[in-house]
A and B are shown apart, each in its own frame.
Chain A
């Protein structure tokens, strides 16, 4: 066995009453790619933040390169050759690439010399690892894939020998993710150690040498990747057997519930973001809209649900038009049987400061069931919330708890329960499982398919290709605001990936 680059011994960390890490032991071999998997809240990110000096462990030891190390601040970690690429990039958006790279690692009190030095150093790193990026580009003008590259360059510029990546592929297209993996392999060949935190098991299987599984703050297993399977890892993560792909029968599509015709939407700058989109959604089918984030799916969803102005086109719900001026009354649409689970549950779907029971009726609070004269019927609301908690297995089962204190997966279930239990004819769902654990994904998928089997029309927008493929009866791919292709559920990932990258679209244009 190669010498350990990092050894963690008996790490404990609590936040208040929550024990994020319990007695963690972990050894990461030098020159390998080591994966750490686990559900959200399993303690992966906390553990890595301790290693990076962002948090302090309550107890335990860290050894780096065989020597006991005291890591109190990110500076200590950087000095020991540990670099981290955070899930949410730690970049200053209106700075150039160079300025971001030197921030905190300036070689001189004046910027001129620091920048000159960084420029030549970046050229060398680019050559060595294939990390091309324009050093003078402004961060906010770069696509996320390149922004991530800047994060990697930042770490390498500081002399990182050990690189920690926290959920690096969450924001990337399949092609960008592949490119990232090539870079990581190259780093490994050069003798660097890579720690990859993810909840995507396929990535673990594709790229890591060793994988450790965390569950509820403990390290439950470490396996050689060659000798394990996706099924085993999923079971270790959740603690029970998980269906990775929900079983479903053939769709029995009925009449048209929602007809979108020539819909065009412009954003606040006047740029066309949804470009002449037409499709039908029938009763008893799930239509999935695939695409890399930012290709108009969000705006399409908002326009259909009446909260964004569309410049032209029409949307018919059960043969009657929806007001597309952006001033549609969401209450009226709900009455007509259109339920909407928004993409961004924190900003649009929930009021995080409210109690769970309040959120579970939000938007339906004028319904007679929840009223007693002009007042809210608190008892009825809480009983209703308790029913939904049981039915959707929302944890903790406490309808008086502040919504902010639920995990992301459970928050999503609160929104889904609210919208699905109204028995809508059409359900529009944006990112049904964003930030949701493997176990809860299975549950949500089953629910969506059950809706379909009851003859409801379901429209799913997701950036997770696996999800789209697993749920949809028909798949529409969006690129640059247009629907560039329709495929059946049997379409391969590669085929959809090319469509999502606009390859076929560009060829057709030429």
Chain B
């Protein structure tokens, strides 16, 4: 029974740890499917996290915080668009620049505004997204197997968690069942075909980037307002890059993206769980090894186990009319 509870708890933290990855991964999916590489997911999440926590603590409202996180993140997405769509700049350079600006500006502004070494003030419960306890969750906790699944895994998460997982079927539906999705996929494969069909390539790509900005904003808000009670410098800690890896792993498909992010989240949860616990046969493993495990596995999985991942064909190439 102890083992079962341990598993349920590990899966529960898997879900919590997967959410920011999943939101960022879906964010990247919109822009990369439209042919814009976005290495700046990390930076946009970070500014989202900062803006969310800062606004929530100043205005004492979780929802205002979320709104601000989305707004600022979208603004950064539009900067990326201005550089790489309007001015046909290199998308990687622009993305890296955004990451640097995000890392620096959040600390500077945080220190200037709150004087807590780049942190934002700890958020009060009303300023955070609280866990939603589903009806009857406490009552069924004692029921074997189904009880913990319902009360630990399904119930007891914040609204952003449910939102993240609902975004998976929603994104699939948008991509494969709507006109916008058809055009988005087309512009990532062959923008000239979209242009000659009388659709603006630039406007379409900007809209894709706005979708990206919204989702990275939510991902950031989740980090600073759900997982943590405030903003801490560099709190994204490479999640944007892991999300990009998950996106490749998922071959740019929404449902695959969910499983990829759950896998990475699980590795993370496992690493935390096994810290300091002696393993059978191996004995006690250094903490650092466990922390490195998700990244090591990422490299192994990406190198050998996913077969050929074909990116959208027009990805990374600014669209210039032929001449």
Which residues of A pack against B, CB within 8 Å?
15, 52, 54-55, 73-75, 78, 84, 86, 88, 90-95, 99-100, 102-106, 108-112, 114, 154
Determine if B189 and A95 form an interchain contact, defined as CB atoms under 8 angstroms apart: yes
Cα-based distance from A235 to B189 in the complex (angstroms): 42
Judge if B87 is at the interface, Cβ distance under 8 Å.
no
**Which of A54, A78, A84, A95 interacts with B321 by CB under 8 Å?**
A54
Known: A54-B321, A109-B178, A111-B179. A93 touches B196 (CB 8 A): no
Which residues of B pack against A, CB within 8 Å?
176-183, 185-186, 189-190, 192-199, 313, 321, 323
Residues of A within 8 A of B177 (CB): 110-112
A104 to chain B, nearest CB (A): 3
Return 16 A-B CB contacts under 8 Å, by A number. A15-B323, A54-B195, A73-B198, A74-B195, A88-B192, A90-B192, A90-B197, A93-B190, A103-B186, A103-B197, A103-B199, A104-B183, A104-B198, A109-B178, A109-B180, A111-B182
Residue of A nearest to B180 (CB): A109
Determine if A99 and B198 form an interchain contact, defined as CB atoms under 8 angstroms apart: no
Determine if B196 and A111 form an interchain contact, defined as CB atoms under 8 angstroms apart: no
A72 to chain B, nearest CB (A): 11
Residue of B nearest to A104 (CB): B197
Residues of B within 8 A of A75 (CB): 198
A497 to chain B, nearest CB (A): 31
DSSP class of B's interface residues: helix, strand, loop or mixed?
helix
Determine if B189 and A103 form an interchain contact, defined as CB atoms under 8 angstroms apart: no
The tally of CB-CB contacts under 8 A between chains A and B is 70
Determine if A92 and B179 form an interchain contact, defined as CB atoms under 8 angstroms apart: no
Determine if B179 and A93 form an interchain contact, defined as CB atoms under 8 angstroms apart: no
Known: A103-B182, A111-B178, A114-B179. A93 touches B189 (CB 8 A): yes
**Which of B182, B183, B198, B323 interacts with A74 by CB under 8 Å?**
B198
B203 to chain A, nearest CB (A): 12
Closest 10 CB pairs of A and B: A104-B197, A75-B198, A90-B193, A106-B179, A74-B198, A90-B196, A92-B189, A92-B186, A92-B190, A104-B199
Determine if B194 and A104 form an interchain contact, defined as CB atoms under 8 angstroms apart: yes
**Which of B179, B190, B194, B321 interacts with A110 by CB under 8 Å?**
B179
Residue of A nearest to B187 (CB): A92
A467 to chain B, nearest CB (A): 27
Determine if A90 and B178 form an interchain contact, defined as CB atoms under 8 angstroms apart: no
Residues of A within 8 A of B182 (CB): 99, 102-103, 106, 111
Residues of B within 8 A of A110 (CB): 177-179
Known: A108-B179, A109-B179. A103 touches B193 (CB 8 A): yes
Residue of B nearest to A74 (CB): B198
**Which of A54, A94, A108, A109 interacts with B196 by CB under 8 Å?**
A54
Cα-based distance from A176 to B86 in the complex (angstroms): 41
Residue among A99, A103, A112 with the highest chain B CB neighbour number at 10 A: A103
Cα-based distance from A95 to B188 in the complex (angstroms): 12
**Which of B189, B194, B198, B323 interacts with A94 by CB under 8 Å?**
B189
Residues of B within 8 A of A94 (CB): 189
Cα-based distance from A102 to B183 in the complex (angstroms): 10
Determine if B194 and A103 form an interchain contact, defined as CB atoms under 8 angstroms apart: yes
Cα-based distance from A88 to B192 in the complex (angstroms): 10
Cα-based distance from A110 to B192 in the complex (angstroms): 23
B194 to chain A, nearest CB (A): 7
Residues of B within 8 A of A99 (CB): 182, 186
Residue of B nearest to A115 (CB): B182
Cα-based distance from A114 to B194 in the complex (angstroms): 17
Residues of A within 8 A of B321 (CB): 54-55
Residues of A within 8 A of B183 (CB): 103-104
Cα-based distance from A112 to B195 in the complex (angstroms): 23
A507 to chain B, nearest CB (A): 39
B217 to chain A, nearest CB (A): 25
Residue among A73, A90, A108, A114 with the highest chain B CB neighbour number at 10 A: A90
Determine if B197 and A105 form an interchain contact, defined as CB atoms under 8 angstroms apart: yes
A99-B186, A103-B182 are known; give 9 further A-B pairs, CB within 8 A: A74-B197, A74-B198, A93-B190, A95-B185, A102-B182, A103-B197, A109-B178, A110-B179, A111-B176
